[in-house]
Structure formats: structure tokens, C-alpha cells
Amino acid sequence: MMHHHLILRVVTKMLVGTIILFAFYVQFHGDFSPGGGFQAGVIMAVAFILYGIVFGLNKAEEVFPPWLVHKLAAFGVLVYAGTGVVSLLLGYNFLDYNAFNPGHPSHGQHWGIFAVELGVGITVTGVMVAIYYAFAGRPPPINDEDW
């Protein structure tokens, strides 16, 4: 098994890093070019899914263990909601990014979007990989006795 698909395996190893780099580009450059948290999260997840498809689910789960995937999916939402809570603690409305730089609100907006999109990116990565794991690692069909 390990000796099959030599080209695929070599190309995948080369591509995975590039895909992750591209995901970061889409994530952090999202305000000047097409993209944002959701797209970046999907691209990031694609790196792990491609790795899982070529090298097998077990290898992928060694690199990115399922428990970490779940925590990340939850952590992203916390980053998003946490941004709202911080703005709230600063005496502004929920998710009012002006709070982050009252002297220069457009900078505040910029930072707020940045934080929120980071949360989106993390969650989307987690959820996409979790969906892949759930489908790829599906247990065998239910036994007749279980019904």
C-alpha cells in the first residue's frame, strides 16, 4: 500500500504546505482581496483532507487528532463571541468594533473584523475536518440485531 501512488504522495507532500500558506493568505489578506474566514477555513481543511485521502485516515488523525479538531471548532466560536464580549466590556454594543480604537473608529472596525474572521476561520477548519473524519471514519452499517 505504501509503495503505490508514488507521484501522488510526493506531490501531496509538496502541496500541503503551499495550501496551508494560501489559507493563511486568504485569511489575513481577506480585507484587500477576495476571501475571508470561511474560505480560508475551507482551504486550510482541504490541506488536511488531501493528506487524509492520500495517506489514509489514521495518518491524518495522527497529525490532527479528532479531539483537537472538536476543540478548535468550539474555540473559533469563542473567539468570535469573545470579540463581542470585549466590545461589550469596553462599554460599547455587542460586536461594535469601534470599541477597539475609539480615537480612530475605522481602525477599530479593521481589528474587530480581523478578530472575528480569525474565529470564523478556526471554526470552519475544525468543522470541515470533523465532517471529513465523520464520513471517512464511518462505522460499519448497523447490525440487524441493533434494530
Query: Which parts of this chain interact with another protein (CB under 8 A)?
Result: 67, 70-71, 73-78, 81-82, 84-85, 88, 90-98, 102-106, 142, 146-147
Closest CB 29 distance from another protein, rounded Å: 23
Closest CB 127 distance from another protein, rounded Å: 12
Contact of 97 with 87, CB cutoff 8 Å: yes
Q: For another protein, which is the closer residue by CB, 24 or 94?
A: 94
Q: For another protein, which is the closer residue by CB, 10 or 90?
A: 90
Q: For another protein, which is the closer residue by CB, 29 or 104?
A: 104
The C-alpha atoms of residue 143 and residue 123 are separated, in whole angstroms, by 34
Closest CB 77 distance from another protein, rounded Å: 4
Phi, psi of 113 (to 5 degrees): -60, -40
Q: In this structure, which amino acid lies at residue 104?
A: H
Contact of 91 with 99, CB cutoff 8 Å: yes
Closest CB 68 distance from another protein, rounded Å: 11
Contact of 101 with 111, CB cutoff 8 Å: yes
User: Running DSSP on this structure, what letter comes out for residue 101?
Assistant: -
